[in-house]
Amino acid sequence: MNSSRVGLPIALAWLVACGGRGGGPANPLPQIPPPNGGAQATLRAELPEPPVVRAAEGVAKLSLVAKNDPSTGQPTFVYNGAYAVIPTIEVKPGDTIEVRVKDGLPEVPPPDGMPGDMVDMGTPQDMNLHFHGLGSSPKKPGDDVLTTVASPGQTLHYVVHVPANQEPGLYWYHPHVHGQTSFQVGASGMSGAIVVEGLERHLPGLSKMKQRLIIVRATGTGGEEAQPLGTNSAPCTTKDGLQVSLNDAVRPDITIAPGEKQFFRLLNATGHKTLRLNVEGEKLELVAIDGFALDSYPGTPPTKMESSLIVPPASRAEFVVTGPASGHAKFRTLCYDTGPNGDPDPEILLANLKAPQRREGGSFSPQPLTVGAPLPRNVYTTQLPPPAVKRVVIFSENPKPEFFINGQTYSTKAKPMFVVHVGTVEEWHVVNVTQEVHDFHIHQLHFLVQKINGVPVKHPFWADSFIIPHRSAGSRKGVPGSLDLLMNFRDPVIRGEFLFHCHILDHEDQGMMAKIEAI
């Protein structure tokens, strides 16, 4: 469903048949955007690496300024004087992240005749941060997106404590101003990665591999109005009109020798694109979803071999890639079907895997990954109690378009939709009555995916962003899509108000979000 600010529906589910169709034609080489045409992206021979800020004496300190990038006309972060070079934060469990972010965006008066339903939203020059996926407090000066917002000239100071038993893996940070997330995060690419170290201690074989941190962004050529083009009537043939980049490079090379194993840590930082990752002719060995190792849920195997991996907006996948025997292969996202009312999400070439010109010394062992040190003992790796409460959560929309959760559109003034009790587990039946997919996300915690469309998941796993299948078209009204999730509210640190919403960012901006309070 397209509109000037709405309708970027995309997604379905991790580790489950997606219903989409692969094998469609790849997009031609994307063009470099002109000024005012989205986040800066360049053609590169080799995949670049973002700069890294590491913790010193237990604290990772970072200063950012939000400014309009003179090369694009869109907001970005300035780090050490450089525009759109957004650093990765590396920490250990128990460390602290301190971030100062100054709002240096120009003040712009609101347009004349602003609709009443827009008054409740932030403006394009407001700024804050969300520390996505970390099990940290939602209260100031931590991961508070409800009351912590800067206007031009103001500076925010975040102090985010990474729990000592935080799962090691990939997380991220990005702005979360209501009404502006699609513009700032999606169209403008304001996002950076957070790596919590320690996964290689759990799977020692990873420490011997070259690591690749990859941030996937998708921008358009129309600035704030950038939208996928066309309809989803032919999901594998219609181009979506978006430029996809890896670390802001378009179709880079990734050097990997035949038989070499590399560890890819990939973040889908797009506003509305579901990735269906595939390496031509090779299988991918998945080890973690949304920062959590697969076997953080007892009984789930530590790795899983897949021909493709479905990564919804905001989600992360950590997986092992084996260099193709031929010395070259396409790294791509295959076509993904978002539903009859969805936007096209066609096959796109992301990068080219290429063997080095000269073979370096050493050998590459094909040995399978084995478990070494145990994962942290926390509320996710220990036995869950029976659900204390069962809830039904309905995602819906109308043709205006407006987006709803349980019939309500988000307001900053609204009271929490749900009040939950710390120390309990709840069972949520999440229903999608629309004909496009939605992307369920909750702040501060992870949930256990148990059933998809009523079918039990063979090996349940923890996630923080997951696709709700769309309503089927098998009858006049069709059968709603659904998820059955166990919501883990047992962490005593997670007290206060926070959010759950659709992470297809236009849907979130247009009301598909609600507050929750943990007491």
Answer whether 0.85 is exceeded by the pTM: yes
Residue type, 373: A
Residue type, 337: D
Residue 19 has pLDDT above 60, yes or no: no
DSSP secondary structure letter of residue 186: I
Identify the domain boundary among 356, 374, 407: 356
Please return the burial class of 328, using the count of CB atoms within 10 Å of its CB with bins 0-12, 13-18 and 19+.
middle
pLDDT value of residue 124:
85
| Domain membership flag for residue 511 | yes
Same domain for 393 and 351? Answer: no
| Domain membership flag for residue 86 | yes
| Domain membership flag for residue 377 | no
Instruction: Report how far residue 335's alpha carbon sits from residue 18's, in angstroms, rounded to the nearest whole number.
Output: 10
pLDDT value of residue 41:
62
Identify the domain boundary among 339, 356, 373: 356
Identify the residue with better confidence: 424 or 122.
424
Residue 37 has pLDDT above 80, yes or no: no
For residue 210, name the pLDDT band (cuts at 50, 70, 90): very high
Same domain for 471 and 326? Answer: no
Residue 29 has pLDDT above 60, yes or no: no
Rounded mean pLDDT, 120-127: 84
For residue 107, name the pLDDT band (cuts at 50, 70, 90): confident
pLDDT value of residue 189:
93
Task: For the beta carbon of residue 376, count every other beta carbon within 10 angstroms.
Answer: 17
pLDDT value of residue 231:
61
Same domain for 398 and 337? Answer: no
Same domain for 229 and 319? Answer: yes
pLDDT value of residue 412:
93
Q: Is 214 helix (H, G, I), strand (E, B) or coil?
A: strand
Identify the residue with better confidence: 74 or 223.
74
pLDDT value of residue 122:
76
Q: Is 415 helix (H, G, I), strand (E, B) or coil?
A: coil
- As given in the structure block, the two tokens for residue 433 are 């009555």
Burial 39-62, CB ≥16 within 10 A → b, else e: bbbeebeebeebeebebeeeebeb
Q: Is 469 helix (H, G, I), strand (E, B) or coil?
A: coil
pLDDT value of residue 233:
67
| Domain membership flag for residue 434 | yes
| Domain membership flag for residue 365 | no
Instruction: Report how far residue 305's alpha carbon sits from residue 279's, in angstroms, rounded to the nearest whole number.
Output: 12
DSSP secondary structure letter of residue 47: -
Query: CA separation (Å) from 149 to 86, 87, 153, 184, 210?
Result: 20, 21, 12, 14, 38
pLDDT value of residue 228:
52
Residue 269 has pLDDT above 50, yes or no: yes
Same domain for 183 and 322? Answer: yes
- Residue 40's domain comprises 1-356
Please return the burial class of 111, using the count of CB atoms within 10 Å of its CB with bins 0-12, 13-18 and 19+.
exposed
pLDDT value of residue 108:
74
pLDDT value of residue 358:
75
Min mean pLDDT across 13-27, 123-137, 423-437, 501-515 is at: 13-27
Whole-number average pLDDT of the chain:
87
pLDDT value of residue 232:
67
Residue 519 has pLDDT above 80, yes or no: yes
- As given in the structure block, the two tokens for residue 79 are 């780090």
For residue 234, name the pLDDT band (cuts at 50, 70, 90): low
For residue 22, name the pLDDT band (cuts at 50, 70, 90): very low
- Look up tokens 């594998």; give the residue: 236
Min mean pLDDT across 89-93, 120-124, 188-192, 508-512 is at: 120-124
Min mean pLDDT across 25-29, 235-239, 359-363 is at: 25-29
Torsion of CA 120, 123, 126, 132, to 10 degrees: 70
| Domain membership flag for residue 363 | no
pLDDT value of residue 344:
77
Same domain for 60 and 164? Answer: yes
For the residues of 146-185, what is the DSSP string, one character each? SS--BPTT-EEEEEEEPPTTPPPEEEEEE---TTTHIIII
For residue 445, name the pLDDT band (cuts at 50, 70, 90): very high
Same domain for 274 and 315? Answer: yes
pLDDT value of residue 219:
80
Identify the domain boundary among 300, 334, 356: 356
Same domain for 302 and 410? Answer: no
pLDDT value of residue 362:
56
For residue 79, name the pLDDT band (cuts at 50, 70, 90): very high
Same domain for 296 and 419? Answer: no
pLDDT per residue as tens digits for the range 339-348:
888 877 889 9
Same domain for 118 and 222? Answer: yes
pLDDT per residue as tens digits for the range 305-333:
999 999 999 999 999 999 999 999 999 99
Q: Of the candidates 265, 96, 143, which has an alpha carbon nearest to the alpha carbon of residue 193?
A: 265
Count up the domains in the chain and report the number: 2
pLDDT value of residue 9:
27
Identify the residue with better confidence: 229 or 410.
410
Min mean pLDDT across 82-86, 109-113, 116-120, 432-436 is at: 116-120
Same domain for 51 and 5? Answer: yes
DSSP secondary structure letter of residue 399: T
| Domain membership flag for residue 367 | no
pLDDT value of residue 431:
98
pLDDT per residue as tens digits for the range 127-178:
999 999 999 999 999 999 999 999 999 999 999 999 999 999 999 999 999 9
Q: Are 289 and 14 in contact (CB under 8 A)?
A: yes
CATH number at residue 38: 2.60.40.420
Instruction: Report how far residue 57's alpha carbon sits from residue 55's, in angstroms, rounded to the nearest whole number.
Output: 6
Q: Are 65 and 99 in contact (CB under 8 A)?
A: no
Same domain for 342 and 477? Answer: no
| Domain membership flag for residue 307 | yes
